[in-house]
């Protein structure tokens, strides 16, 4: 059920129901972050591995602090500049936070999402919302209410309508557990360049792509998988040539002349990485719905949001 009544969403959450909420990044599947029983339902509905911890969302750092979750002073410059926004901070956990949120870790991920509807919802609540992306584990994250409704509608209390997500990639995650050496755990909707420029130094990045010990299991190698196999590159470089009618192409800015136009999705004719990021997940869905033999996605420039786009494409790909 898609709803627009924010108070109804608040009531449902208070009653221990799951409600999908809009954020600027992707839709989240929210539960009362202090209620272990409801949080367990998130794992069940998403079929999410128990080892994958959840992000807590609220509308102010003061509220987080009242629950014992303080940002270290080293994080304040970044928080002031980019919150609310597509950035998640990992900080030491407090006793208020149930272990099921953190999958037993001693740290917890917190963020203030930048979406008017959800900020209004959060301001009505005396608890944070635990919210992973509102999709079945391993599938493409939802950027519209209808994506959630189609996949999870029957299993949850409601989907709160908030329009199309304007960032379109999940938040960038930085661990401040060691405040002197913050560490990038997931590329996302805020570019590393912007964060490093604000900090005045480089983030530690060594754990990226570590599948054996996923520090942020959004890092699992195949995480955004469409049903149609997806490869990265150009059709002419495919090892086994496939008829051009059997291909769907995701392109940055230009159509390929040799492929039928109807089989191609161009993300930003203006070569704007933000626009491309915003449209990426919907484009993967659309390409999947073309029911072709293969999706071929172009590699993006390895800078700014292009890095996060390439990261998601790699996780959606079969190689
Ligand atoms: O943009 C977003 O972050 C969206 C919206 C709904 O806020 N949420 C989201 O949640 O992407 P999810 O569950 O799909 O991804 C959360 C990521 C996971 O990769 C998880 O491992 C990581 O956050 N994470 C959560 N707690 C952590 C912790 N204590 N330490 C390290 N990583 C953590
Ligand atoms: Mg996710």
Residue 114 has which token pair?
């930048």
**pLDDT of residue 215 exceeding 80:** no
- Pocket mutation for ligand 1, best pick of 46, 122, 132, 223 (most atoms within 8 Å of C-beta): 132
* Distance from Cα 260 to the centre of ligand 2, integer Å: 32
Q: What percent of the chain has pLDDT over 70?
A: 94
**pLDDT of residue 211 exceeding 70:** no
* Distance from Cα 52 to the centre of ligand 2, integer Å: 10
Q: Considering every ligand atom shown, identify the ligand nearest to the alpha carbon of residue 89 and give its number.
A: 1
pLDDT tier for residue 318 given thresholds of 50, 70 and 90: confident
CB contact at 8 A, 298 and 284: no
- Pocket mutation for ligand 1, best pick of 50, 136, 173 (most atoms within 8 Å of C-beta): 173
Which backbone phi and psi does 199 adopt, to 5 degrees?
A: -70, -35
Residue 40 has which token pair?
């367990």
pLDDT in tens, 243-283: 999 999 999 999 999 999 999 999 999 999 999 999 999 99
pLDDT tier for residue 197 given thresholds of 50, 70 and 90: very high
pLDDT in tens, 91-127: 999 999 999 999 999 999 999 999 999 999 999 999 9
Mean pLDDT of 171-176: 98
Q: Which atom of ligand 1 is nearest to the CA of 170?
A: 1
pTM for the complete prediction?
Answer: 0.95
**CA within 13 Å, CB half, 178:** 8
**pLDDT of residue 214 exceeding 70:** no
Q: Which atom of ligand 1 is nearest to the CA of 52?
A: 21
Laid out side by side, the sheet with 172-175 consists of 2-3, 158-160, 19-21, 28-32, 129-130, 55-57, 107-111, 87-92, 172-175, 183-186
Q: Which atom of ligand 1 is nearest to the CA of 186?
A: 19
Laid out side by side, the sheet with 294-297 consists of 230-232, 294-297, 247-251, 264-266
Mean pLDDT of 214-243: 79
Does ligand 1 come within 6 angstroms of the Cβ of 228?
Answer: no
Res 180: pLDDT: 96
């Amino acid at each position: 059920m898609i709803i627009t009544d924010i108070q109804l969403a608040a009531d449902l959450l208070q009653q221990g129901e799951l409600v999908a909420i809009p954020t600027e990044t992707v839709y989240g599947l929210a539960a009362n972050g202090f209620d272990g029983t409801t949080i367990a339902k998130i794992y069940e509905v998403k079929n999410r591995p128990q080892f994958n911890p959840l992000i807590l969302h609220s509308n102010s750092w003061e509220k987080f602090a009242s629950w014992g979750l303080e940002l270290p002073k080293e994080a304040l410059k970044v928080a002031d500049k980019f919150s609310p926004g597509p950035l998640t901070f990992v900080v030491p956990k407090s006793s208020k936070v149930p272990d099921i949120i953190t999958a037993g870790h001693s740290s917890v991920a917190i963020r203030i999402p930048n979406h008017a509807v959800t900020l209004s919802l959060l301001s009505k609540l005396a608890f944070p919302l635990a919210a992973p992306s509102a999709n079945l584990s391993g599938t493409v994250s939802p950027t519209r209410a209808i994506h959630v409704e189609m996949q999870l509608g029957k299993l949850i209390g409601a989907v709160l309508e908030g329009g199309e997500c304007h960032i379109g990639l999940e938040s960038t995650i930085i661990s401040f557990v060691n405040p002197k050496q913050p560490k990038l755990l997931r590329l996302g909707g805020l570019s590393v360049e912007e964060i490093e420029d604000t900090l005045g130094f480089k983030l530690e990045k060594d754990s990226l792509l570590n599948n054996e010990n996923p520090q942020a299991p959004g890092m699992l190698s195949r995480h955004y998988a469409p049903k149609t196999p997806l490869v990265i590159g150009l059709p002419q470089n495919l090892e086994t040539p496939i008829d051009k009618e059997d291909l769907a192409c995701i392109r940055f800015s230009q159509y390929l002349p040799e492929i039928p136009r109807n089989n191609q999705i161009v993300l930003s004719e203006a070569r704007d990485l933000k626009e491309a990021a915003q449209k990426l997940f919907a484009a993967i869905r659309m390409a999947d719905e073309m029911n072709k033999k293969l999706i071929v996605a172009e590699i993006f420039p390895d800078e700014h949001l292009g890095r996060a786009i390439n990261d998601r494409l790699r996780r959606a790909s079969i190689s």
